[in-house]
Amino acid sequence: MQPAGRIVDADGAIVVDSLFHIYAGEGENVTALRGLDLSVRTGDMIGILGPSGSGKSTLLRLLAGLEVASAGRLVVNGRNLSRATSRDLAWHRRQGVAMVDQHYWRSISPYLSAREAVELPLRLRGWPRVERMKRVGDLLERVGLGDRMAALPSQLSGGQQQRVAIAAAVAARPAILLADEPTGELDRANANEVLMLFRELVDQEGMTAIIVTHDVLVEGIADRIVHLHQGRLIAETSPRKNGSVRRIVDPSGWLAPDLPSPPAALSRTAATPRGEIVVRLQDVGRSYGRGVRTITAIRTLNAQIPRGGIHVVTGPSGSGKSTLLRLMIGLDRPTSGTVEALGLNLEDLDRTALAKFRAAHVSRVSQPIRMIPFLTPVENIGLDLELRGVRATNERHRRAEDAIDRVGLRSVAGTPLGSLSGGERARVALARAIASQSEILVLDEPTAALDRASALRMIEGLTQLDPTMTVIAGTHDAALIAIADTRLDLAKP
């Protein structure tokens, strides 16, 4: 039974009217949405673009019923969520919406096959077995995985896992499909396939879809692109109507600023080779499981990384980039071959010795970013430095503030991390790595959660690091690849 409280004065699937949302901070509050107005018709696919901190993810959480707006009105499928009870919100999350996350591996259990993952939401809703099996088979065929129904996530590429996550999200036929950076961890080919899949499913299922993204590919499939800036709607574009742009003037007469110009491409003089090899891989292979369940992540790789400069590891989703980065710094062990880092054979080091090696010589930025949400950026960085043995408080503070300045986050240095946007947290993670002054800096998809301007600022910051620091990045980002000193291309094993 549906909860009470439905209203009938809403036009379309979503109505956002003068919506405000404020996050409480220790020093000052953070206003994520500032009087946002937006309407979405039933059956439309809307792309939401904007720089980090513009309020995109906050809007998505409000639409999903995960938070309640501070002020204003939010109507989704005729239900006023701004006045909803916790019971109303629970029903809305269970029956009204589904969400696809950037980190697809968080959406599906590593212990469930593709068939079981898509079936699970239907079992929880009490669908009869025959209907479940028909729906699951139909969906997996439509997402191109009809022959991989029994496969576990570890046996699928990143793009395939994201397809399973999408199929699981739409299985129960939600009226609204929400997606938060669904292509953030995918190479361009897989990203394009996933977005085309969204378009097909929305059309076939009659859903309304909201995609929060930095990916310009979404412009090729969306009915409308909504541009946010500082928590307000500043423009709408209609890709299917020759890309026409409509600037926003609100009832008070406020005229939205112009859309920002595309950032200029970066250029860089390659670092001078220093001769010394920082990382050496000799006949390295890595596989998981046994027998028929054996999954090969890397097959017989030989490579070396010289000291200094920026070095990228590229390849399609599922080619082993993240696995290779972990092997390079001893977070994983190869099944065959040897890995040497800074002249040490990592196979000779036990877990304690490896931890001390990383603390002394390595800093890493991974996905997802793990930091303490109630500490400020400066405090998070200071804590990392203290764990690395930097005892002087003044030195920790100086290095933290210097690193925060280098990534352009001075204005939020005293704000709890949990109040920052995903893009801002990514830049704090880079600042933490910079402050460590490590010899080796390992980055796993460092620009995946950033808008284009923020991504280019991060890449520019990498070019200004101490030339003796060796940066190794796994990435799909063409701009980062373009300024790299060396490139290691991986293929699917």
What contacts 456, CB < 8 A, 6 or more positions away? 263, 266, 479
Euclidean distance between CA atoms 321 and 420, whole angstroms: 28
**With 0-12 CB in 10 A as exposed, 13-18 as middle and 19+ as buried, what is 248?**
middle
Provide, rounded to the nearest whole percent, the portion of the chain with pLDDT above 70.
88
In a domain, residue 122? The reply is yes
In a domain, residue 5? The reply is no
In a domain, residue 356? The reply is yes
Do 338 and 455 belong to one domain?
yes
User: Please, what is the average pLDDT of the chain?
Assistant: 84
Q: What's the whole-number mean pLDDT along residues 93-111?
A: 83
Do 96 and 219 belong to one domain?
yes
Q: What's the whole-number mean pLDDT along residues 162-186?
A: 87
Residue 123 confidence (pLDDT) above 70: yes
User: According to the model, what pLDDT value does residue 140 have?
Assistant: 92
Do 227 and 335 belong to one domain?
no
Euclidean distance between CA atoms 173 and 207, whole angstroms: 8
Euclidean distance between CA atoms 211 and 60, whole angstroms: 9
Provide, rounded to the nearest whole percent, the portion of the chain with pLDDT above 90.
37
User: According to the model, what pLDDT value does residue 7 have?
Assistant: 39
Q: Can you read off the two tokens belonging to residue 202? A: 């929305």
Residue 492 confidence (pLDDT) above 80: no
User: According to the model, what pLDDT value does residue 131 have?
Assistant: 95
Q: Residue 151 — very low, low, confident or very high, per pLDDT cuts 50/70/90?
A: confident
Q: What's the whole-number mean pLDDT along residues 444-468?
A: 81
Tens-digit pLDDT profile for residues 269-302: 555 555 789 999 999 999 877 776 677 888 899 9
Q: Which domain holds residue 423?
A: 277-489
User: According to the model, what pLDDT value does residue 216 have?
Assistant: 76
Do 239 and 331 belong to one domain?
no
Our count of domains for the chain comes to: 2
Do 238 and 282 belong to one domain?
no
**More confident position, 410 or 267:** 410
In a domain, residue 314? The reply is yes
Do 232 and 290 belong to one domain?
no
User: According to the model, what pLDDT value does residue 196 have?
Assistant: 87
Q: What's the whole-number mean pLDDT along residues 111-130?
A: 93
Tens-digit pLDDT profile for residues 380-404: 999 999 998 898 999 999 999 999 9
Euclidean distance between CA atoms 381 and 376, whole angstroms: 9
Do 221 and 314 belong to one domain?
no
In a domain, residue 430? The reply is yes
User: According to the model, what pLDDT value does residue 264 have?
Assistant: 55
**Side chain identity at residue 89, one-letter code:** L
In a domain, residue 7? The reply is no
Taking CA atoms, 356 is separated from 26, 298, 340, 342, 435, in Å, by 35, 26, 16, 14, 18
Euclidean distance between CA atoms 284 and 302, whole angstroms: 7
In a domain, residue 269? The reply is no
User: According to the model, what pLDDT value does residue 83 have?
Assistant: 86
Lowest mean pLDDT, pick from 69-73, 280-284, 319-323, 435-439: 319-323
Euclidean distance between CA atoms 153 and 117, whole angstroms: 10
Burial 97-132 (b: 16+ CB within 10 A, else e): bbbbbbbbbebbeeebbbbbbbbbbbeeeebeeeeb
Q: Residue 10 — very low, low, confident or very high, per pLDDT cuts 50/70/90?
A: very low
User: According to the model, what pLDDT value does residue 259 have?
Assistant: 63
Residue 190 confidence (pLDDT) above 50: yes
In a domain, residue 46? The reply is yes
Do 219 and 342 belong to one domain?
no
**Side chain identity at residue 121, one-letter code:** P
Contact 306, 277 (CB under 8 A): yes
As beta bridge partners, residue 405 has none
List, in sequence order, every beta strand (DSSP E) within 181-223.
208-212
Q: Residue 256 — very low, low, confident or very high, per pLDDT cuts 50/70/90?
A: low
Q: What is the DSSP letter of 235?
A: E
User: According to the model, what pLDDT value does residue 23 have?
Assistant: 81
Contact 442, 249 (CB under 8 A): no
User: According to the model, what pLDDT value does residue 120 have?
Assistant: 94
User: According to the model, what pLDDT value does residue 32 have?
Assistant: 86
Do 322 and 468 belong to one domain?
yes
Q: Residue 6 — very low, low, confident or very high, per pLDDT cuts 50/70/90?
A: very low
Q: What angle do CA 455, 445, 339 make, to 5 degrees?
A: 140
Residue 338 confidence (pLDDT) above 80: yes
Do 194 and 309 belong to one domain?
no
Tallying the residues shown for the chain, one arrives at 493
Q: What is the DSSP letter of 334?
A: -
**More confident position, 332 or 189:** 332
Euclidean distance between CA atoms 99 and 66, whole angstroms: 11
Q: How many CB atoms lie within 10 A of CB 226?
A: 23
Q: What is the DSSP letter of 218?
A: G
Q: What is the CA radius of gyration of the chain?
A: 24
User: According to the model, what pLDDT value does residue 290 have?
Assistant: 75
Do 220 and 301 belong to one domain?
no
Question: Helix axis angle, 393-406 relative to 422-435, nearest 10°?
Answer: 130
Assess whether the previous peptide bond of 368 is cis (omega < 30° from 0). yes
Do 442 and 364 belong to one domain?
yes
Q: Residue 411 — very low, low, confident or very high, per pLDDT cuts 50/70/90?
A: confident
> Biggest alpha carbon distance in the chain?
71
Euclidean distance between CA atoms 16 and 226, whole angstroms: 13
Q: What's the whole-number mean pLDDT along residues 205-218?
A: 85
**More confident position, 174 or 190:** 174
Q: Which helix (H) or strand (E) holds 152?
A: none
The CATH number covering residue 341 comes to: 3.40.50.300
